[in-house]
Amino acid sequence: MPQPAEAAFFDLDNTMVRGASLYYLARGLHARHFFSRRELQLFARRSLHFALRGENLGHLVEVRELALALVAGHRTADLRAIGEEVYDEYVGAKVRPGTQALASRHLAAGVPVWLVTAAPVELADVIARRLGLTGALGTVAENVDGTYTGRLIGEPLHGEAKARAVRDLAARRGLDLARCAAYSDSANDLPLLSMVGQPVAVNPDATLRRHAAAHGWPVHEFRHWRTAARWTARLGTAGLAGAAAVSLVGLVQRRSGRP
């Protein structure tokens, strides 16, 4: 009998991408007159809190409800098209080269790589495809005849729900979770990290950092571009693209004066 397959699962916000992807989508929607500046400012405040302190379920629920209300009545095809533009305008520049190099190493070894996130699946699909990943799991908003209703199908992929989604995917695709890897920055993803054979903390919050140290999990810190550059240089051929991207990001940051 064939041996069960392995795969790698990557969280999105603050793991693969710096900051909150939903906020970048909100900026794109605001620029296209989906909602007001005041509503965008709400997204911005929650995004800043998220970037500084990590995920908070209460904030995620609040922003999710606002996002659902804002897209209600709009066409799913329109949101997917805007997702492509949002990637070009905001998200692509926020991809963490060190984390991308980790994913590239799995792909180079023939291992499928899935993005797993509480962000809308439409945006997750775009990001996964642009990064050359195998696919994405994300939060699914209900639509009727291609128009959003303002309700969800199932739960947001957060915490236990994210772990269940990965477990379901593993069952469908014949994956052996003991041979799989998972990467995240947040202690909220401990249910996912704890059920795979290769859990890895990336840019971890304080709780996840302590848990990783106590359990001997690898920890990668990519929140400073020089750290990412040193790490990707050690990856060899699989990390060359990521290292080049790190250098470009560093050049842009030095010229703009951003940290």
Beta sheet of 219-220, edge-to-edge order: 147-153, 135-144, 113-120, 8-10, 181-184, 198-202, 219-220
* Type of residue found at 105: R
13 is catalytic: yes
Q: Is 255 exposed, middle or buried (0-12, 13-18, 19+ CB in 10 A)?
A: exposed
Paired tokens of 103: 């994913």
Q: Which residue has tokens 């659902």?
A: 68
Catalytic residue among 13, 125, 185, 205: 13
145 is catalytic: no
Catalytic residue among 11, 125, 185, 205: 11
Q: 92: which residues sit within 8 A by CB, 6+ positions away?
A: 130
* Type of residue found at 7: A
Q: 252: which residues sit within 8 A by CB, 6+ positions away?
A: 93, 258
Active-site residues, by number, are 11, 13
